[in-house]
Every structure is written in structure tokens, then in C-alpha cells.
Amino acid sequence: MIGGACVTCRTISDTSHTASPSFFLRIEVSVTFAHELNRDLETEIMKLLELNMRPLYDQSAQGWNRREKLKEMREAPSRFLLARASVRTRAEDALSEGANVSAAGKGELVGYTMFRLDFEECDEDDPLRLIDEQDIELAYCYELQVAPPYRGKGVGQFLLGCLEDIAKASRMKKVMLTAFLHNRSALEFYRAQGYTPDLISPQETDGDGHTIADYQILSKALVQPARECIQRARPHVQSQ
Ligand SMILES: CC(C)(COP(=O)(O)OP(=O)(O)OC[C@H]1O[C@@H](n2cnc3c(N)ncnc32)[C@H](O)[C@@H]1OP(=O)(O)O)[C@@H](O)C(=O)NCCC(=O)NCCS
């Protein structure tokens, strides 16, 4: 993975309201590492994060902590997929068909995801866990943010797909993320992308109905459980 390189591009047309799209949204996704963040980029990312998430954090038990978010962004393992766009009319798009898209970093930031390739604890019943394994290799998605005007156009799905491709290429076993329970639309989005509550996700309430956690840990497997493969090949092997 090369920092700053354009990993992929996609053109999205505004077909939601009309059969003849009024614009094409060309998004270009590039990879940026924490050490490549400069003040302008940090400000741009933080502005979108704060706009999208501050109201949700304000409703949560942990509250909004800008300094903590900045620290997380700047830590060495953090990687970013930045989606930049140029919105063009159909005529403009036809004229420039085949031309190169703008260089990374030039268009408006329409969305991004911040992730890390990491180890995370796994439940002893996790089907992806190998015998005696305490932790599992995964891509942790810390943030997935799409600017309000660009939502519902496939940008979030595209970014998450890019992250999953990178995770698979890096031989991670799953993608994991955390979402607030009161962020209903994000939970619906992740469900539509194949994410389900992970076995390590905390219980929402205790026996008396008191809230324990106001968030859920979701995950999506990227590989087949090795145990299933072994058992298929050697049906006599006992599962551990
Ligand atoms: C959640 C978020 C990242 C989704 O990105 P998006 O670009 O709006 O979503 P997409 O257009 O890529 O959606 C892809 C698919 O997910 C599903 N989906 C998206 N939002 C949904 C919702 N609110 N309810 C149900 N399904 C939804 C749909 O199936 C959609 O496919 P369709 O267009 O064919 O119907 C974006 O809305 C966002 O930034 N929200 C605010 C920040 C946030 O909550 N981030 C997540 C923090 S955990």
C-alpha cells in the first residue's frame, strides 16, 4: 500500500431522482498514512468528523473529545482512505471521457475511512479463532464518514469495499468496527454491507434493564473459518 497513491476511482451518477442523470460524481480514493497528515488535511478530516459525529457523541456516555480523536488520527498505525470528488455535468463528463482524473488531494473531501491493521481479542467461540489463539488479525475501521450532500450515493459502500479489499490483501481475517446503538441509520447501513454483532460485543443492558453499553461491536469475516475447512477435509477431527 503506497501512501498518497490513488488506489481506485469510481463514477457515480445521480440516478436516484431521474432516469437521465443530471451529474456524475467521480470519486478518487487515495491512501494516506498518519505521518503524512499535514495541518490542512487534519483540519479537513476533523471538520467532517465533527459535523457528522459530534451530535452522536454528545448523546453518548463517553461524550465528544476532540483532543482524543486527533491523537488517534496521528498515531502511527492509523491509515486513511480519502474520497475526493469532482461533480460534473453529463455534458462535461462526455467531453472528458477517457481523460485522467484530477491528482489525489485536489477535489473536495466527500468521505473517508480511518482504519488500522491490528490484533484484537476474540471470543473463545469465534469460528475464525485458531486453537489457543487469544487475538485475531483484523482491520479495525475507526471511522467511516460521508459528507451529508453525498450520502446515499454509494460512497460509503465504496469506501468500505476498498477497506475490505486492503484488509483481504493484507491477510486480515475480519473487519471490525464500533457503532453507537442510537446511530440507527449507520447500523442499517452496516447490516446491509454484511456486518453483524461480534461475539465480543458487550451486552446492551444488565439483568435489571440498566444500560451497560450504548454501542455495538460489529464485524464481517473475510475468510472462511479454518476449522470448518479442516473438518470438511478430515471429518473425524474433533472441534476444539
Ligand atoms: C453511514 C454512512 C457512512 C453510509 O454511507 P452512504 O454513502 O450514505 O451509504 P451508501 O450510499 O454507500 O449506502 C449503500 C447501501 O447501504 C444501505 N443503506 C445506507 N444507508 C442506509 C440506511 N440509513 N438504512 C438502510 N440501509 C441503508 C443501502 O442498502 C444502500 O444501498 P442502496 O443505495 O442500493 O439502497 C453515511 O451515511 C454517514 O457518513 N453517516 C454519518 C456518519 C456515521 O454515522 N458514520 C458511521 C459511524 S459508525
Top-confidence residue, 230 or 216: 216
What average pLDDT does the segment 193-204 reach? 94
Are 190 and 181 in contact by the 8 Å Cβ rule? The answer is no
pLDDT over threshold 60, residue 179: yes
Q: How far apart are CA 100 and CA 110, in angstroms?
A: 19
Residue of 189, 215, 219 to test ligand 1 pocket, by largest number of atoms within 8 Å of CB = 189
CA atoms within 13 A on the CB side of 24: 16
**159 Cβ inside 6 Å of ligand 1:** no
Distances, alpha carbon 122 to alpha carbons 137, 140, 216, 239, in Å: 10, 13, 15, 17
What average pLDDT does the segment 182-186 reach? 98
What pLDDT, on the 0 to 100 scale, is given for residue 21?
Answer: 54
What pLDDT, on the 0 to 100 scale, is given for residue 234?
Answer: 77
Question: To the nearest whole number, what is the mean pLDDT of the chain?
Answer: 85
- Quickly state the pLDDT bin for 23 (edges 50, 70, 90): low
6-233 folds as Aminopeptidase (3.40.630)
What pLDDT, on the 0 to 100 scale, is given for residue 1?
Answer: 42
**Ligand 1, atom 17: closest residue by C-alpha:** 189
Give the pTM: 0.85
> Which atom of ligand 1 is nearest the CA belonging to 152?
11
Query: Per-residue pLDDT tens for 93-142?
Result: 554 444 434 444 468 999 999 999 999 989 988 988 887 788 999 999 99
Grid cell digits, residue 14: 445521480
Top-confidence residue, 228 or 69: 69
**60 Cβ inside 6 Å of ligand 1:** no
What pLDDT, on the 0 to 100 scale, is given for residue 209?
Answer: 79
Query: Per-residue pLDDT tens for 81-102?
Result: 999 987 555 555 554 444 434 4
Q: Which of 48-52, 221-225, 230-234 has the highest mean pLDDT?
A: 48-52
